[in-house]
């Protein structure tokens, strides 16, 4: 049974799930109501977390960005396309903790930070839309395009 979701709600829920490491934050989509439920071990439950959240007939788990290859593989693809001369340095950056901060510093020095954010937003939108299609989710008519990424 297909379910419809609001694009902005889906994107915000996906961003919540993708904070930190996989499984630090979780969210599910109720297949019946189309409602998103959020859960984190860091605080009291944001929403009432259902006991049967792992029942795939009732709920669909929202993926972490790493499950959609939107982590390091995306960084390396960006480097191949837009910063091929820096590819080896970027690979070295991602061999240690704190890689994203150092990567963004490099992008700033190379004046490529805005290009990265645009590339990342487009890849995220494409991956989420494909995930929706695979899982029988329709995006409600009138859904807004992906918002500008947080550039902090």
pLDDT of residue 44: 62
Helices H, strands E: what count in the chain? 5, 5
User: Across residues 31-57, what is the average pLDDT?
Assistant: 81
For residue range 99-139, list pLDDT tens digits in order. Answer: 999 999 999 999 999 999 999 999 999 999 999 999 999 99
Q: Where are the alpha helices (DSSP H) in 43-152?
A: 72-82, 87-93, 99-109, 113-134
The larger pLDDT score, comparing residue 75 to residue 2, is at: 75
- The helix (run of H) or strand (run of E) holding residue 146 is none
What's the whole-number average pLDDT of the chain?
A: 88
User: Across residues 49-73, what is the average pLDDT?
Assistant: 92
Q: Please name which of 5, 34, 7 lies closest in space to residue 145, comparing C-alpha atoms.
A: 7
Cα–Cα distance list, 125 to 25, 47, 82, 95 (Å): 20, 25, 20, 27
Domain boundaries, the chain: 3-64+129-139, 72-116
Q: Please name which of 59, 52, 74, 65 lies closest in space to residue 23, comparing C-alpha atoms.
A: 65
Residues in the chain: 152
Instruction: Note the pTM of the prediction, 2 decimals.
Output: 0.82
């Amino acid at each position: 049974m297909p379910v419809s979701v609001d694009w902005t709600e889906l994107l915000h829920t996906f961003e919540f799930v993708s904070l930190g490491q996989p499984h630090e934050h979780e969210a599910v989509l109720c297949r019946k109501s189309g409602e998103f439920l959020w859960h984190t071990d860091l605080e009291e439950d944001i929403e009432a977390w259902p006991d049967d959240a792992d029942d795939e007939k009732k709920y669909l788990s929202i993926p972490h960005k790493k499950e959609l290859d939107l982590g390091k593989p995306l960084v390396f693809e960006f480097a191949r396309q837009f910063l091929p001369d820096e590819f080896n340095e970027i690979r070295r950056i991602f061999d240690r903790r704190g890689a994203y901060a150092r990567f963004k510093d490099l992008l700033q020095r190379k004046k490529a930070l805005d290009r990265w954010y645009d590339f990342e937003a487009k890849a995220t939108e494409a991956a989420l839309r494909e995930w929706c299609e695979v899982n029988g989710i329709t995006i409600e008519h009138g859904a807004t395009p992906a918002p500008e990424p947080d550039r902090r």
